[in-house]
Amino acid sequence: MDLSVPIEGVNVEVKRNLLVVRSERPLKTLSSAVFNGGLREANIIVNCQVPKDYDHADPQGYLRCAIRKAGFPPDRAVGMMTAVNIKNAAIATKRHGDLTVSSIVTAGLTNAIRVGEIIFDKKVGTINVILLIDSDLTNGCMVDALKTAIEAKTVALRELDVRSSVSFEPASGTSTDSIVVACTGRGRKFKYAGTATEIGGLIGASVIEAVKDAIRRQDGIISNRPLINRLMERGITLEDLMDAALELFQPHPGIETREKAMRMLRRGFEEALSDVNVAALVISGLRLEEDGRYGLIPGLKSENFRRDPLFLLADEILGMAIAKYIAGTRGLFEFVRFDKMKPGILKRLGPVLDDVICGIIAGVSSNAYSAALEKK
């Protein structure tokens, strides 16, 4: 694990349960850190790993004690906390001319959330960002840099299609995110660090790369992860598909029992969900469902979309296309049967998603019956 950053006088190391950024000269910091947050000078920035069942009554006191035990003066330190494995930290550095920006990120998504939601069941997991800038930023510019970094974090989550653990909507972060912006105070002086500035561009690129890499290291989430993972992140499991298919099961020559049907269906779903064309069609449906909820389909208001109006045919067209691709013309007949009865999970899905998932179930079910016949 390479923890080096190309900023003179600044070192990064893991010491016990701490990820430590140590600077020879004081850094100007602006942060939402648990310990010594706000605007202050510090020589030490700490990201402290705590147990997953951590429930300390005094987190500031806990951090003060951890920092002191590590041999650092608490009054010169800023501290954050995470239940993420700090050895899964990611570092991304961007440089242009005399400007250097490094982002150090730890990330866990078990409590991913969309801003504006209310969490009742608190879980562990957080995204902690330490942004190091080798230049001289005004106080206002520090705020600008923090803003740009938070925007970049959200972009990274959007590009990975991270979903809220509460609503399955696109996540904007987790419920316990923390960020520290630190500058060395040397070199060029900057007043602005928004997205239109040179330094803002470096901040954005650095944070996006580091957040994505940290998520990959901790949770194994990558852009082109399997389709079943994308469905599970929206509350749709393979078992849900199986249950819906089996709800309309009819004994058939070659597939006389539910146990045999289960084996054939499972193989069929695994095969269909690993097909890149099925994935492309389903992802199209996921996006259409989301755009419909947000009122982004031209000529169709959000409230009307949710009523699944009769004039909206794209959902059935997409569902039938999936069923036909998987099982040919026979799949279309099975789609009609499942779409009419709406077994299992199909009852609770949205106007587009119910037809998309119906197309998968119908195609796989049709293939199972056809394969059973061919063996007789």
Residue 297 is part of a domain; what is its CATH number? 1.10.3760.10
pLDDT tier for residue 375 given thresholds of 50, 70 and 90: low
Indicate whether 208 and 326 sit together in one domain.
no
Among 69, 123, 80, 124, which Cα is nearest to 105's? 80
Q: Is residue 257 situated within a structural domain?
A: yes
CA–CA distance, 352 with 332 (Å, rounded to integer): 17
Report pLDDT digits (tens) over 2-43.
Answer: 788 999 999 999 998 999 999 999 999 999 999 999 999 999
**What residue numbers bound the domain in which 249 lies?**
227-375
Of 219, 235, 268, which marks where a domain is finished? 219
Would you state the torsion angle of the CA atoms of residues 355, 171, 280, 325, taken in this order, to the nearest 10 degrees?
-20
User: Are both 266 and 352 inside the same structural domain?
Assistant: yes
Structure confidence by residue, pLDDT tens digits, 105-138: 999 999 999 999 987 666 667 999 999 999 999 9
Q: Residue 172 contacts by C-beta under 8 Å, 6 or more apart in sequence?
A: 113, 114, 115, 154, 157
**What pLDDT digit, counting tens, does each position of 153-197 carry?**
999 999 999 999 999 999 999 999 999 999 999 999 999 999 999
Q: What is the dihedral of CA 160, 101, 146, 91, to 10 degrees?
A: 40
Q: Judge if 209 and 233 occupy the same domain.
A: no
Q: What pTM, to 2 d.p., does this model score?
A: 0.93
Q: For residue 144, what are its two tokens?
A: 């600008």
Helix axis angle for 353-375 and 258-273, nearest 10°, is: 120
Q: Give the rounded percent of residues in the chain with a pLDDT score beyond 90.
A: 90
301-316 tens-digit pLDDT: 999 999 999 999 999 9
Mean pLDDT of 198-215: 98
- Euclidean distance between CA atoms 277 and 227, whole angstroms: 11
Residue 334 has pLDDT above 60, yes or no: yes
| pLDDT, position 143 | 98
Average confidence score pLDDT of the chain: 95
| Whole-number pLDDT of residue 250 | 86
